[in-house]
Every structure is written in structure tokens, then in C-alpha cells.
Amino acid sequence: MQRIAIYPGSFDPVTNGHVDIAQRGLRLFDKIIVAILSNPVKDFLFTVEERIEMLVSSFEEYPNIEVGTFDGLLVDYAAKKDSIAILRGMRAVSDFEYEFRMGLANHRLAPDIETVSLITNEDHSFLSSSTVREIASLGGDVSSMVPPHVESALKERFAELGDGQQIVPTTSMRD
Ligand code: ADP
């Protein structure tokens, strides 16, 4: 039986930190499904379709990393995909409380699905999508933080939004 894990998140946009977690997940699982929650209440810089495209390009050399979307409960999606685990990344202590609560809640809902949190690669420990969005919105260099195609997409999006656009959409209170 294939050992499948779901790696859920907003990925607005995908960063090198996300890519690292998914790739390392492949050491533990046969297949990783990177999954975007598709009916959020939050504002995003990129649409779901754009985020899917960026994820697919990031993992094109990894046939065992798939990209998907879900709405509703994560554990329902995980069960539908025959997953045995939910994969998450852990950066700092600040991540812990949220991850801990979510892990416990998901365990209550679906005791057979384990949450596996991988500790960030120290090179990416400060990296979050919101940091990347903020730097890119101010014209800073994000080339060491995201894949090249994401860097281009950020440049394009902030050019479209125009000069003087100081609004940096936030995707997550924690992020
Ligand atoms: P969410 O809105 O669910 O937090 P994110 O896209 O921000 O979605 O993050 C998805 C997952 O990736 C989370 O588990 C988060 O902790 C993890 N993650 C984000 N950035 C990094 C990073 N630089 N290193 C390791 N894990 C990370």
C-alpha cells in the first residue's frame, strides 16, 4: 500500500521553505499531496489557480508530489485521498501553539490520521509567505526565498497593483 501524506496550506505564494518540507516528506512517504484550502475567508495575493500553477511548476521534477485543492474539513479530504498523515512544517515556537491545536483537533476528528511536523531547514527558518509578499511589495530581492517562477509572478502582480500600493494582503494571523 502506498503511504500518502497531505501537506495542506495557503501557499500564497509557495516559498523555498514549503518546497523543502514537501521534498523531505518524500523520505517518509511514497506520495505527498500538497493541498490548497480553496474556500478561505481571507484575502489572498494569488488566486487558487495561480497558486496551483506555481506549486505544479515548483514540483515538476517530483512525480511523487501532487498538487490539489480542498474545501471543507482537511481530515475528510485526507481520508478521501487514502492518506495516513498530515504533513506540516514547524519554524519557531510561535508555530507550535497553532500546530499543536490543529494536530489535536484533527486527531479527535480522525484518530487514524497522524500529524507529522518536520522542523524547518535552518536556511529557511525565518521564511514565510507573508515576509516574501512584504519584501516583494516593496521591491526587495526575494530570489533566495522562492523559486524563480514565483519571483517573476510576484514582480508581475505588484506591477499590476501599481506604485504606491502599500497594501500587503495577509493570509493568516499567524503567518
Ligand atoms: P497555513 O495558512 O496553513 O499556515 P502556509 O502556506 O503559511 O499555510 O504554511 C503551510 C505549512 O508550511 C505550515 O505547516 C507552515 O508552518 C509550514 N511552513 C511555512 N513556511 C515554512 C518554512 N520556511 N519552513 C518550514 N515550514 C514552513
pLDDT at 147: 98
- Residue with CA closest to ligand 1 atom 10: 9
Could you report the average pLDDT of every consecutive run of 10 residues in the chain (175 residues)? 96 98 98 90 90 98 97 96 97 91 98 97 94 96 98 96 61 51
pLDDT at 42: 75
Domain boundaries in the chain?
4-161
User: Which residues, other chains included, contact 129 with Cβ-Cβ below 8 Å and sequence gap of 6+?
Assistant: 10, 11, 12, 13, 14, 15, 171, 175
Q: Residue 85: is it exposed, middle or buried by C-beta count within 10 angstroms (0-12/13-18/19+)?
A: buried
Catalytic residue selected from 10, 83, 129, 130: 129
| Cα angle, residue 36 at apex, residues 84 and 3 outer, rounded to 5° | 20
Please tell me the CATH code under which domain 4-161 is placed. Answer: 3.40.50.620
Ligand 1 close to Cβ of residue 9 (< 6 A): yes
pLDDT at 22: 98
